[in-house]
Each structure stands twice: as structure tokens, then as C-alpha cells.
Amino acid sequence: MRARRAVLTGPLVAVVMLVAAIVATAAAGMTFRDPDHVAAGYVLEVGAGIAALIGLDTLLRAGWRGRGRPGRERVRAVWRTRWTRPRLVAVGVSVFAFYASYLAYRNLKGTLPLLRPGVLFDDQLRSADRWLAGGHDPATLMHDLLGTGIAAHVFSTAYVAFIVFLPLSLAVSLVFAEGIEDGLFLTAALSINWGLGIASYFLLPSLGPIYSVPSLFAALPHTEAAHLQQMLMDQRQGFLADPATGTPQAIAAFASLHIAMSATAAIAAHLLGAGRRLKQALWAWLAITWLGTVYLGWHFVVDDVAGLAMAAIALALARALTGVDLSGRRALRADARTPAVVTVPGPARRPAAGVAAAPDR
């Protein structure tokens, strides 16, 4: 029953968001659509990637380590016991629901300037940032500290790599987790972030520092991130000129969905008892993403803070909706990593002088 509840959470989130998107696009006079078939493309690409990872997972569990092939019977045994039909269905449903939520998110994001025309909070968000930074713009402080050369390219590469990070997090959690509930919990939390992100955009519509105060970033070199920023603005202008046929605009700053998604993955790694190296890597990713969003002008600092809050809310909602026992799963991980203690019978010996006997536990 609990596993079924976890499987159904993703589709539930997707249905709620799709209904909201259909209503919003109708109110804005738009056509609900998949711009450039992006969502459908993601489903196919991520689905193919997951299929490959399932094959790798099966081979690894069957004993393959690059030194010859495991026996067919062993591979079949792993496949029958681990990749059962219910588990495969759960993975497929989760991926489809996640990108259905993304499709709704894209359409809802497009309606923002039509349903809240002329409403922007960039000036207020910048004022909050300057107050936090003692009267300075945080991006300017970072440019002075880190320079506007190599750092710009490093942060640009990391920011653009988010397009790989998100589906990779999804795929790895669904394939390599011991229990499917772990992957379903993370997928549900990530899906919920799409909805929370849209809610925050409508609450405080904003464009972000790069568009509201472009002079602050004039010294930055041309990077892939800069190219993406210009492309998004061109799309926005084309869409506002003709909402019926233009690609739905995709500019919205508050809150930072990059931070929300990255923080969700990092915190979930702790909640699910993941290994130390994975947790360290996820926190490092979050840190460089945070710095990059401010340095490149995608977000105000307060946007990133809001992104952290959004991640916490998404995880709490995912826990409530899926019913996954997080404390129990952490205990299972801890037991799996604790080496077994073998007690050899023998005569009891008195503790040496100065050494206290261990109390019973």
C-alpha cells in the first residue's frame, strides 16, 4: 500500500499542475502546448538513459567489474528479483509524471507576464540584496573578488550543466537506490518544486539582475550563460509580441529553481542515508550553483534563500504524500554500512586495571 502511494504521488502532482496550466493558458488566451517538443524529448532521452543504467545496474549486481562477463543465469536472477514488472512500471510512471509536471510548469511560466502584466519586484529584491550586502550589490562584490575572466566561464559551465544534473539525479535515484521508494520520494520532491516555483513567480514576479540592472554585468565576457540569457530575452520579446504562436517566455527570478532542485537533492541524500562522498558532491554542487546564480546575474541573493525554503517545503510535502519512512530507511543504510561483529565464545576475563567495563546497551 505504501509503495503504491509513493508511485501515485508523482502523477497526482502532475495532474494538479496540468489542470492549473490548462486553466491559466485559457485565461491568458494561449494554447497549451509543448514548445519545441522539449518535454517529449526529455521523456525519450531520459527514458533511454534510464534503460541503459538499468542494464548497468543489473550487470554490476550480477558480479561484472570489467574483468569478464557474468554468467547468464546470474544476470537473469538479478533481473527477475530486482527489476520486476511493478518496479519497472513505477520507474516509467515517475519519469513520465515528472516531465508532465515540467510541461505544465513551462506553460504556466509563459502565462506570467500576461496574467500579471507590468508587475515586477526587481527593485524591491535588489534593495533587499543591497541591505544584506551593506549597501553594495552582491554581484559587484563577487566580480571584484573573483574577477571577470576565468570565474565567469567556470560559473557559466556549472550553470548550464544543470540541464544534465537534473535528469541525472532523477535517473540515478530511480535506478541505483536499493528500494524504489527512495527514488520515488526524491522524484516527488523534485516534481513538487515545479509547482512551488510557479507559485513563487506569481507571488513576486521579477526578471532577475541581468535584465533589470544589466550595467552590473557589462564587464563579464561572452559565455554560454550570456548566450542563453540573450536567447531567453529574445524569446520573451517575441512571445509578448505574439503570444499565440511565440515560444512561451521562460524568464522568472523569484525564487531560484536551480537552488531549490539542487538543495532538494542534497538534503534528500542525508534523509535517505546516502554515502558521504555523494553528499559532499551534492553540497559542493549547491555551493557553486549558488555563487553562479548571483555572479552571472540570474538571481538575487534573496531568490536563492527562497530557493532553500522551497526545497524544505517540497521535501516535507513529498514525505507526507509518499508516506516513505525516512528514519527507517536511514537505519537500513546505517546497518548496511556497519560491519558485522563476530563474537567468539571464550572465558570471561576481568578488565585490566584502569579500564572500565562497557555497560550493557
Q: What is the structure's pLDDT at 333?
A: 56
Residue 171 has phi, psi (to 5 degrees) of -65, -45
Boundaries of every domain in the chain: 2-236+243-333
Distance of CA 361 to the CA centre of its chain: 41
Cα–Cα dist 357/9, whole Å: 51
Residue owning grid cell 515586477:
120
What mean pLDDT comes out for the span 177-182?
Answer: 89
279-313: per-residue pLDDT in tens?
999 999 999 999 999 999 999 999 999 999 999 99
With a cut of 50, say whether residue 217 has pLDDT above it: yes
Q: pLDDT tens digits, residue range 138-149?
A: 999 999 999 999
Residue 320 CB coordination number (10 Å): 11
For the chain, report the end-to-end CA distance as a whole number of angstroms: 35
276-295 vs 301-322: helix crossing angle, rounded to 10: 140
Whether residue 182 contacts residue 169, with contact meaning beta carbons closer than 8 Å, is answered with: no
How confident is the model over 216-240, as a mean pLDDT?
95
pLDDT (0 to 100) of residue 327: 74
Whether pLDDT at 204 is above 70: yes
Q: Is the pLDDT of residue 269 over 60?
A: yes
**Can you give the pLDDT at residue 338?**
45
Q: Which DSSP symbol is given to 216?
A: G
Residue 332 has pLDDT above 80, yes or no: no
User: At a CB cut-off of 8 Å and minimum separation 6, what does 123 contact?
Assistant: 212
Least confident of 11-15, 136-140, 246-250, 285-289: 246-250
Encode pLDDT of 54-65 as tens digits: 999 998 888 865
DSSP 212-277: HSGGGGTTSPP-HHHHHHHHHHHHHHHHHH-TTTSPPP----SS-HHHHHHHHHHHHHHHTT--HH
pLDDT average, residue stretch 84-113 = 96
